[in-house]
């Protein structure tokens, strides 16, 4: 414990950036204000020089920081994904180790410098429901205090100017909440607080982690902060924990390029996301230029991802027998018509708690005995092993987490062969209340993660991207 505060784990990732690792590690340790932490360094194809540096760190600070433990773990290259997704995987390796050792863990970069007592001023605000971040000075973006002190290497970094700015902007014992920064940059407050370094509780990792490997540019793209926010965690910023980040620098040998071993790796495993981002930028520019949205661009994006969704579902869903679609919705819910009606099911049953939706379905299919629609809560029905397939398209996010647990266990009992679940990985405005057609059941109550679904035997078979840039994931449970 640091006084009354817990021991924490701090994660850093490195490949070839020897000089940056030396500088950031020594800054991190000497300015922490405590030695009661584990420094976890994740290596990926490290050079012999980096290996020696990591080995020597613990010995170097053994006398001055007797409570410090320097722990090395390694990431093995995942061959079928690109460079940046492997970086995400490194972070997952680090956090898995961090929370194996301690209740609280945090992340730093090799391209960072740290002002005195940066860690103790984070730890003093630790709370199981908080993510606490440092006040950030960054060379590359205006969202934080903007200043460029050079690369974080000895001989390149202007340490005197950095310390001088820190003394001017420090706010002793000040805890800045997301509400205070709401709307500063046109984003929700928690978007304006997210920065490195940060600390959070193991419970947040279990609910919002791991980092996704599919999206690439920046923390928001991997949805981690959005998932944490959607799960009810709060974001706060310490006014007297200050760090510097070069911004936009990869972990190459000089800090200016990807590592040598990664030169021939694809930068990203999902080239489709770059096409989508590029086309969205084009559409945005044309709208500013000509005053209207270019619908063809949006239509292309939509069709591209609709095809991907269909391919994913067609690859796993059975095509015969009986099916129960929970939360079938009204006629605007097209998943029913697109993915269930065309198959050779002998009986298709839809259930929904909203009577107007059920009435719409009954009116359309009233002369076909193949279909049955029921207005009821699935939890009020006494069913067991009655349907070959049970589907839930965008349903479980409308239950609380406790209710989701009950529903998943129940639908597994109902299904003879498969349960298929499709749910968002992210909401645009946190757990937004969507009052579509005055439907009172449209409130988003939780955000489902891959690790959560895995607890109940569900496998993630893939995801597709909405035109907003957010992703929806598809999970499958199969009875053996």
DSSP string, 176-209: EETGGGTTTTSS-HHHHH--SSEEEEHHHHHHH-
- pLDDT for the residue numbered 435: 44
Residue 467: its pLDDT value, please? 52
Query: Which residue(s) pair with 178 in the sheet?
Result: none
pLDDT range class, residue 476, cuts 50, 70, 90 = very high
Kindly report which listed range (119-128, 196-205, 216-225) carries the lowest average pLDDT score.
216-225
* Angstrom distance (rounded) from CA 168 to CA 135: 13
Distance CA 280, CA 302 (A): 11
The kind and range of the H/E element at 42 are strand 37-43
Residue 217 has pLDDT above 50, yes or no: no
Most confident of 58-67, 184-193, 216-225, 449-458: 58-67
Helix runs in 224-290, H state only: 224-230, 271-290
Using the predicted structure, report yes or no on whether residue 115 has a pLDDT greater than 50. yes
**Domains within the chain, CATH numbers bracketed:** 8-262 (3.90.550.10), 316-478 (3.40.50.150)
Report residue 121's pLDDT band, with 50, 70 and 90 as the boundaries: very high
pTM here is: 0.60
**Most confident segment among 117-121, 298-302, 330-334, 337-341:** 117-121
Task: Identify the pLDDT of residue 134.
Answer: 93
The model's pLDDT over 242-289, given as tens digits with 9 standing for 90+, comes to 999 886 554 444 444 567 777 667 665 544 445 555 555 666 666 666
Report how far residue 101's alpha carbon sits from residue 92's, in angstroms, rounded to the nearest whole number: 14
Mean pLDDT of 81-96: 87
Give the Cα separation of 248 and 341 in Å (integer). 48
- The answer, yes or no, to whether residue 64 has pLDDT greater than 90, is yes
Question: What average pLDDT does range 365-381 have in this prediction?
Answer: 89
pLDDT of residue 386: 86
pLDDT of residue 302: 58
Cβ–Cβ under 8 Å, residues 190 and 229? yes
| Nearest to 417, CA basis, from 323, 276, 315, 294 | 323
Tokens 């190459």 correspond to what residue?
252
pLDDT tens-digit readout, 394-427? 899 888 888 999 999 999 999 999 999 998 876 5
User: Is residue 70's pLDDT more than 80?
Assistant: yes
Question: What CA–CA distance (Å, rounded) separates 249 from 256?
Answer: 6
Q: What angle do CA 28, 33, 37 make, to 5 degrees?
A: 65
Mean pLDDT for the chain? 81
Integer Cα distance of 161 and 169 in angstroms? 13
Closest CA to 122 of 35, 275, 236: 236
pLDDT at 329: 87
What is the pLDDT confidence band of residue 445, given thresholds at 50, 70 and 90?
confident
Mean pLDDT computed over 445-474: 79
Share of the chain above pLDDT 70, in %: 78
Which pLDDT belongs to residue 79?
A: 77
**% residues pLDDT > 90 (the chain):** 42
Whether the per-residue pLDDT at 31 is higher than 50: the answer is yes
**CA torsion through residues 33, 39, 42, 48, sign:** positive
pLDDT of residue 169: 93
Q: What is the pLDDT of residue 178?
A: 77
* pLDDT higher at 403 or 83: 403
Of 96, 65, 75, the residue nearest 13 (C-alpha): 75
Q: What is the pLDDT of residue 189?
A: 67
Listed in sequence order, the residues at least 6 apart from 461 whose beta carbon sits closer than 8 Å to its beta carbon are 312, 315, 316, 474, 475, 476
Residue 355, burial from CB neighbour count under 10 angstroms (0-12, 13-18, 19+):
exposed
CA distance 137 to 142: 9
Tell me the average pLDDT across 216-224.
50
Token readout for 79 is 């061959």
How would residue 429 be classed by pLDDT, with cut points 50, 70 and 90?
very low
Classify each residue of 389-425 as buried b or exposed e, where b means 16 or more C-beta atoms within 10 Å of its C-beta. Answer: bbbbbbbbbbbeeeebeebbebbeebbeebbbbbbbb
Q: What pLDDT shows up at residue 432?
A: 43
pLDDT at residue 320 greater than cutoff 60:
yes
- Asked if pLDDT for residue 71 goes beyond 80, the answer is yes
CA–CA distance, 96 with 455 (Å, rounded to integer)? 16
Q: pLDDT of 283-311, one tens digit each?
A: 666 666 666 554 444 555 556 677 778 88
3-state SS track over 72-89: EEECCCCCCCCHHHHHHH
Alpha helical stretches, state H, 315-382: 335, 355-364
Looking at residue 434, its pLDDT comes to 46
**What is the Cα–Cα distance from 75 to 353, expressed in whole angstroms?**
47
DSSP category for residue 433? B
């Amino acid at each position: 414990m640091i006084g009354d505060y817990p021991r924490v784990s701090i994660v850093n990732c490195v490949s070839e950036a020897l000089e940056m690792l030396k500088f950031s590690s020594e800054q991190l340790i000497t300015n922490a204000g405590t030695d009661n932490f584990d420094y976890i360094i994740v290596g990926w194809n490290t050079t012999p020089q980096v290996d020696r540096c990591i080995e020597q760190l613990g010995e170097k600070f053994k006398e001055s920081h007797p409570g410090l433990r320097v722990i090395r773990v390694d990431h093995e290259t995942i061959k079928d994904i690109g460079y940046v997704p492997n970086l995400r995987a490194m972070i997952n390796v680090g956090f898995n180790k961090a929370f194996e050792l301690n209740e609280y863990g945090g992340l730093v970069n090799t391209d960072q410098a740290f002002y005195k007592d940066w860690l103790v001023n984070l730890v003093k605000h630790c709370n199981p429901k908080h993510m606490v971040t440092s006040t950030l000075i960054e060379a590359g973006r205006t969202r934080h205090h903007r200043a460029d002190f050079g690369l974080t290497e000895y001989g390149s970094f202007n340490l005197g100017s950095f310390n001088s700015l820190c003394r001017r902007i420090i706010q002793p014992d000040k805890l800045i909440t997301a509400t205070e920064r709401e709307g500063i940059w046109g984003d929700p407050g928690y978007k304006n607080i997210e920065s490195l370094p940060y600390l959070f509780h193991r419970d947040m990792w279990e609910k919002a982690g791991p980092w996704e490997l599919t999206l690439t540019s920046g923390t928001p793209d991997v949805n981690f902060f959005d998932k944490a926010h959607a799960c009810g965690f709060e974001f706060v910023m310490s006014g007297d924990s200050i760090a510097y980040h070069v911004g936009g620098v990869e972990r190459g040998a000089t800090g200016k390029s990807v590592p040598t071993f990664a030169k021939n790796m694809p930068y990203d495993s999902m080239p489709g996301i770059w096409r989508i981002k590029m086309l969205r930028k084009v559409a945005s520019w044309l709208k500013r230029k000509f005053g209207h949205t270019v619908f063809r661009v949006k239509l292309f994006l939509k069709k591209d991802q609709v095809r991907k969704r269909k391919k994913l579902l067609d690859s796993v869903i059975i095509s015969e027998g009986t099916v129960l679609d929970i939360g079938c919705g009204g006629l605007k819910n097209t998943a029913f018509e697109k993915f269930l009606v065309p198959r050779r099911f002998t009986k298709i049953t839809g259930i929904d708690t909203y009577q107007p939706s059920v009435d719409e379905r009954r009116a359309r299919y009233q002369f076909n005995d193949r279909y049955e629609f029921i207005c009821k809560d699935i939890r009020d029905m006494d069913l067991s092993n009655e349907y070959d397939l049970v589907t839930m398209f965008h349903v479980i996010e409308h239950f609380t987490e406790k209710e989701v647990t009950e529903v998943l266990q129940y639908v597994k009992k109902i299904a003879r062969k498969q349960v298929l679940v499709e749910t968002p990985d992210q909401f645009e405005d946190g757990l937004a209340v969507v009052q579509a057609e005055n439907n009172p059941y449209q409130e988003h109550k939780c955000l489902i993660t891959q690790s959560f679904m895995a607890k109940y035997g569900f496998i993630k078979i893939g995801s597709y991207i909405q035109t907003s840039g957010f992703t929806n994931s598809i999970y499958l449970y199969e009875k053996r």
